[in-house]
Chains A and B, each alone.
Chain A
Amino acid sequence: MSELVVETHALTKRYGSLAAVDGLEMRVERGSIYGFIGRNGAGKTTTLRMLAGLSKATSGSARVLGVDAGRDQIAILERTGFVIDTMLLPWMTGKDLVRFNSGFFPRWDHGLVRRYAEALEIPMDRKFKKLSQGNKTKLCLLLALAQNPELLVLDEPTAGLDPVVTDQLLRVLVEDFANDGRTILMSSHHLSEVERVADWVGIVDKGKLLLEARLDDIRSHYRRIRVVGERLPLASPEMLAASSAEGVTEYVVSAGAEAFAASLSRQGGTVLEVLPLNLSEIFLVLVGKENHVPVEVLA
């Protein structure tokens, strides 16, 4: 098992009786791009704020780069670039911010600043408050990248950005950062970007991690099986969901699709198709927006 740059154990954050994060068990491997996805309010930002030391866990633990978050936070902050809010000091220009930020990081690379400022076309002489949202985000990312961190933690980096800027960002992340054991943990609810670049995804809903898997495993093994027939089986071990509508029953399984389809055939069902699922579809299945008939009713 590859080294973990982020691991959480039963991480919980309560606000009164509401658990924004509820027993989260997250594992991020070194060198990967981890897409942390969920709806608004699912607990993504709260989790990342705990990793950043901005917020304290109610219970459970989180380790970043081998260090307990909250105990030696400075050690984490020296080696990790956090972009939590895209808000910097409003009166400073890009140049001011570079000067300001570089003082905190001995491994700061001024060459990288020049390169990213050009690649991302960021106006470095304008005050931060006068920048467009796209430029603000890009500048925040520039500051994090030039810090030369081992780990980049980004909270919804593409929120509010147009497709051109999103593309620029992804290109920079993929071309410059993702390599040589450096890791990206990014939260998003834009599944298409995650689907492009992530090797791992963690799907979170109501503070709980519903699924954490390699994206390629999901693509290779998760299947939707559409069957017509009566008295079809109620469950299979790897079944994630089952639903029935207009005479067609659909199963979503996480493995063994071929075998399951074959067994359905043997039981008299007609298998219409066995389809792969993309991230958006898995997400909807798990987070429950697709219609579900309770399993007991299927027979």
Chain B
Amino acid sequence: MYLWKYWRESRIAFLAGLLLVGIFLSFTVHGHVSVSGPGGASDLRHPGAGGEVGQATTLLLLFFYLQIAPLGFFAWLVGSFGVGRDLGEGAGSFLFTRPRKRAVFVWSDWGVGMAEVMLICIFANFSIWMMIHRILLSMGDPLGGRVVFGDNAVPLSAAMSMSTAGGILIAGLIFSVTYASTVVVRHARGVILSIGLFVGYLVTGAIAHHFWEAVSFPSLTLHAFTPYGPNTGAGWEIAARVLLLLIFPLLAQLSLERAEL
């Protein structure tokens, strides 16, 4: 009943997100394949690699960083739904005279939104996984389901899992910050605040780094890959990033609990 509300509000955005990701995927793969030529020699080979298999890695990495755009956009869009928007539309006095704690509203919204974000991320990554898998097969799969990183042959599954984790974390962060912004601002236009926060963070980081090279702000994206493969020490970083993205709905909850409506 309340979860259903969020889904109903956001389902068009969700379907649009699937479509968006689909388009993005086909452009990425298509673009990459046409640049490097299927099965042919190319400058994108990794040295010491099994030639064509190096392309799969490139595609994977390309995808990993490019996915931030559509996934992030979708996450930002979905962050505009929920109680923040409802408050902006004047429905606050109705919602908050229902017998539920205000925290329940926040976490229900966040939960459904996060689930949608995760589904889109998994869809995107899974699709690329399938595509890369097919490319490998078309080349005879010389490394047995593995892709090349430097001198290592890493299972595709490990690499794709890391990519999925990275996608979920950055999209999740964008969603959490955006959702919290709409709640704090008590209006759907909190999404603008969210853009401001991200841009501000990046710009400040760039300026700080420019003047003091030693200073560099933590990256917004997961450090998922080293030149030798998926970052096996990423466990702590993943945990920290999960905590980070939980802080925002918590802030939203606290803000709402103190609010005079």
Are chains A and B touching directly in their complex (CB below 8 angstroms)? yes
List the interface of chain A (C-beta within 8 A of B).
Answer: 49, 52-56, 74-75, 77-78, 82, 84-85, 87-91, 96, 99-105, 140
Is the Cβ of A77 less than 8 Å from the Cβ of B97? yes
Which 7 residue pairs across A and B have the least CB separation, nearest first? A103-B1, A77-B99, A82-B97, A84-B93, A87-B90, A54-B261, A78-B99
How far, in whole Å, are A161 and B86 apart by their CA atoms in the complex?
25
Tell me, yes or no, whether B101 is within 8 Å of chain A by CB: yes
| Closest chain A CB from B100 CB (angstroms) | 7
Is the Cβ of A88 less than 8 Å from the Cβ of B5? no
| Closest chain B CB from A117 CB (angstroms) | 18
Offer 11 A-B interface pairs, CB within 8 angstroms, sorted by A. A52-B93, A55-B261, A77-B98, A77-B99, A89-B86, A90-B91, A96-B8, A100-B1, A101-B98, A104-B98, A104-B100
List the interface of chain B (C-beta within 8 A of A).
Answer: 1-2, 4-5, 8-9, 86, 89-94, 96-101, 260-261
Cβ contacts under 8 Å, A82 to chain B: 93, 97
Is the Cβ of B97 less than 8 Å from the Cβ of A55? no
How far, in whole Å, are A290 and B98 apart by their CA atoms in the complex?
43
| Closest chain B CB from A90 CB (angstroms) | 6
| Closest chain A CB from B187 CB (angstroms) | 14
How far, in whole Å, are A49 and B260 apart by their CA atoms in the complex?
9
Cβ contacts under 8 Å, B101 to chain A: 74
Is the Cβ of B97 less than 8 Å from the Cβ of A56? no
Identify A87's interface contact among B93, B98, B260, CB under 8 A. B93
Is the Cβ of A87 less than 8 Å from the Cβ of B99? no
Is the Cβ of B9 less than 8 Å from the Cβ of A91? yes
Is the Cβ of A104 less than 8 Å from the Cβ of B99? yes
Identify B96's interface contact among A54, A87, A96, A101, CB under 8 A. A54
Cβ contacts under 8 Å, B9 to chain A: 91
Closest to A89 in B: B91
Is the Cβ of A84 less than 8 Å from the Cβ of B89? no
Is the Cβ of B94 less than 8 Å from the Cβ of A104? no
Cβ contacts under 8 Å, A99 to chain B: 1
Is the Cβ of A87 less than 8 Å from the Cβ of B89? yes
Cβ contacts under 8 Å, B8 to chain A: 91, 96
Is the Cβ of A105 less than 8 Å from the Cβ of B99? yes
How far, in whole Å, are A105 and B98 apart by their CA atoms in the complex?
9
Closest to A153 in B: B97
Is the Cβ of B93 less than 8 Å from the Cβ of A104? no
Cβ contacts under 8 Å, B99 to chain A: 74-75, 77-78, 104-105
How far, in whole Å, are A85 and B90 apart by their CA atoms in the complex?
8
Closest to A75 in B: B99
Cβ contacts under 8 Å, B86 to chain A: 89
Cβ contacts under 8 Å, A96 to chain B: 8
Contact A88:B94 (CB < 8 A) given known A54-B261, A55-B260, A103-B1: yes
Cβ contacts under 8 Å, B92 to chain A: 54
| Closest chain A CB from B193 CB (angstroms) | 23
Is the Cβ of A49 less than 8 Å from the Cβ of B96? no
Is the Cβ of A53 less than 8 Å from the Cβ of B91? no
Cβ contacts under 8 Å, A53 to chain B: 96-97
How far, in whole Å, are A101 and B4 apart by their CA atoms in the complex?
12
Closest to B95 in A: A89
Cβ contacts under 8 Å, A49 to chain B: 93, 261
| Closest chain B CB from A178 CB (angstroms) | 21
| Closest chain B CB from A258 CB (angstroms) | 48
Closest to B104 in A: A74
| Closest chain B CB from A140 CB (angstroms) | 8
How far, in whole Å, are A100 and B5 apart by their CA atoms in the complex?
7
Cβ contacts under 8 Å, B96 to chain A: 53-54
Cβ contacts under 8 Å, A90 to chain B: 89, 91
B94, B100, B260 pick with most chain A CB within 10 angstroms: B94
A52, A56, A100, A102 pick with most chain B CB within 10 angstroms: A100
Contact A85:B94 (CB < 8 A) given known A55-B260, A99-B1, A103-B2: yes
Is the Cβ of A87 less than 8 Å from the Cβ of B94? yes
Is the Cβ of B93 less than 8 Å from the Cβ of A54? yes
Is the Cβ of A85 less than 8 Å from the Cβ of B93? yes
Identify B97's interface contact among A54, A89, A100, CB under 8 A. A54
| Closest chain B CB from A20 CB (angstroms) | 12
Closest to B1 in A: A103
Is the Cβ of A56 less than 8 Å from the Cβ of B260? yes
Cβ contacts under 8 Å, A88 to chain B: 91, 94
Cβ contacts under 8 Å, B97 to chain A: 52-54, 77, 82, 84
Instruction: Given A77-B98, A100-B1, output 7 extra A-B contacts at Cβ < 8 Å.
Output: A49-B93, A74-B101, A75-B99, A89-B5, A90-B89, A90-B91, A101-B98
How far, in whole Å, are A49 and B89 apart by their CA atoms in the complex?
18
